[in-house]
């Protein structure tokens, strides 16, 4: 079952992205079906965004499933 991510964790992830020099932010979309996350695409740097987000959330015991070019959900 997917773990619920708090708005504080999303903000901390955005700080990690900024510290990595990535000019984007993760956006939380929360609905009855669960949480979904997206970021403003950076083209060639999207792989860096994925790596940074994956590293950040893995340190919290959260695995990510990327479901599009610039979106993911937790597993």
For the beta carbon of residue 19, count every other beta carbon within 10 angstroms: 9
pLDDT the model gives residue 75 = 86
Averaged pLDDT, 29-33: 85
Beta strands in the chain (DSSP E): 26-31, 34-39, 64-68, 71-74
pLDDT the model gives residue 1 = 66
> Three-state DSSP class for 13?
helix
Averaged pLDDT, 18-38: 94
pLDDT the model gives residue 69 = 87
47 pLDDT above the threshold of 70: yes
pLDDT digits (tens, 9 = 90+) for 61-71: 999 999 988 99
Averaged pLDDT, 24-51: 94
Gyration radius of the chain's alpha carbons: 11
Burial class (CB in 10 A: 0-12, 13-18, 19+), 36: middle
Averaged pLDDT, 1-15: 92
């Amino acid at each position: 079952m997917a773990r619920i991510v708090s708005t504080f964790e999303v903000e901390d992830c955005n700080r990690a992205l900024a510290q990595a020099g990535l000019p984007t932010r993760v956006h939380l979309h929360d609905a009855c079906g669960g949480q979904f996350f997206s970021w403003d695409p950076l083209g060639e740097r999207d792989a860096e965004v994925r790596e940074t987000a994956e590293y950040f959330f893995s340190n919290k015991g959260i695995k990510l499933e990327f479901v599009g070019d610039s979106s993911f959900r937790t597993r």
